[in-house]
Homo-oligomer: A and B are copies of this chain.
Amino acid sequence: MIDFSLPDDLVALRDGVTRFIRDEVMPYESDPRQEFHGPTDDLRCELVAKAKQAGLLSPHGPVEWGGLGLNHVGMAVVFEAAGYSTLGPLALNIQAPDEGNTNLLHNVASQAQKERWLAPLVAGEVRSVFAMTEPDGGAGSDPSLMRTEARPDGDDYIINGRKWLITGMEGASFQILMARTFDQQGNDLGATMFMMDNDTPGIEIVRVLNTIDSNSPGGHAEVAYTDVRVPASQILGEAGKGFRYAQVRLTPARMTHCMRWLGAAVRCHDIATDYARQRQAFGKPIGEHEGVGFMLAENETDLHFCRLAIWQASWLLDQGEQARNETSMCKVRCSEALSAVVDRSLQVLGGRGITGDTVVERIYRDIRAFRIYDGPSEVHRWALARNIMKRN
């Protein structure tokens, strides 16, 4: 029955996260250990240790592996609070792709796999990678173009191919790799997910890409796979079900992007609002000029509407629904509306906005990727349209 109130324990947790972010994390935002490609792992470890001490690490992680076991609505509330700082998700261990990988392993991995890879991931001891996208006409928005191949060799598979835009690769411990898989007879079984330690022979970082964003430790890499040997026991779930599992991972993962970016956009709006109150021009605070004030009003409205839609889709996931359309609508609209909030906030700041003197400049660059990853807006609109046309 319609209710927009939050349970007391969630409010308490959110407030704890808010305080932690403000008091413990935000002071690190000017820490020099944030390099061109992203924060260093040294900085990450320091932040993770603080979150662990505060009892706030891995709010999304399964309780049996040491997480707080939040449901999706809980995540919506807590991830927004964490996203308020550019370093908040890193501190709480809820950064992509680790957060989505945690969810995927929890749902699909064997017990042995969980012990080996999920446990240290939830503990914040290691970082992980999700290797699906390919360069040069390979898998992207259209995953059917996948070129990386896994071919059987006794009880092992031999993997060859190349991946691209692999977030966090440099410094990560293990990866989940998608490859087109063949059986002994050479039949194409479809895509399969493989668990692999990153020091497996034949895995090589070709380069770390220069990208507009810089919020992921390790940046985004191009990775070559040359005769990488993986035992069949490292298949995640079953062979040939890679795309199905990708959906298991991507649907909630696109929601957690929305949640974190909502927090980041709120931060920008707060910074812009403070500035609009203090900065005078033409005889009054600039926020009292409608040209600026209306931008603040639009920001507030976008934030409000996005938050409600995030909560609703999260609630649907908590009910066991697939929520394909609702999560697609969230992805498209939140990525566009929250980007607009950040853009307006930067505009309100004027000259200061284009400098690193506030985090708005950083968030403006980082959020640009949000309209592209996990399905660009165009792919989600296409999927929505297809479903609308089919519905009876």
Contact = CB atoms under 8 A, between A and B. Distances in A.
A326 interface: yes
Contact of A209 (B332, B357, B364, B373): B357
Interface stretch (A147-155, A229-237, A279-287): A279-287
Interface string A275-295: 011111110010111111110
A316 interface: yes
A389 B1 contact: no
Contact of A365 (B6, B293, B365, B371): B365
Interface stretch (A94-102, A247-255, A348-356): A348-356
Contacts of A322: none
**How many copies make up the complex?**
4
B293 A212 contact: no
Most buried by B among A212, A298, A380: A212
Interface residues of A, number: 85
A212 B361 contact: yes
Interface stretch (A20-28, A110-118, A303-311): A303-311
Contact of A364 (B141, B212, B346, B378): B212
A213 interface: yes
Interface in A293-333: 293-294, 296-298, 300-301, 304-305, 308-309, 311-312, 315-316, 325-326, 329, 332-333
A291 B378 contact: yes
A355 B211 contact: yes
A174 interface: no
B354 A385 contact: no
26 contacts: A1-B5, A1-B6, A2-B3, A137-B279, A137-B280, A140-B281, A140-B350, A209-B356, A220-B355, A273-B388, A285-B389, A290-B385, A291-B294, A291-B378, A292-B385, A293-B382, A293-B388, A294-B378, A296-B385, A297-B382, A304-B329, A305-B333, A308-B309, A346-B368, A347-B378, A350-B372
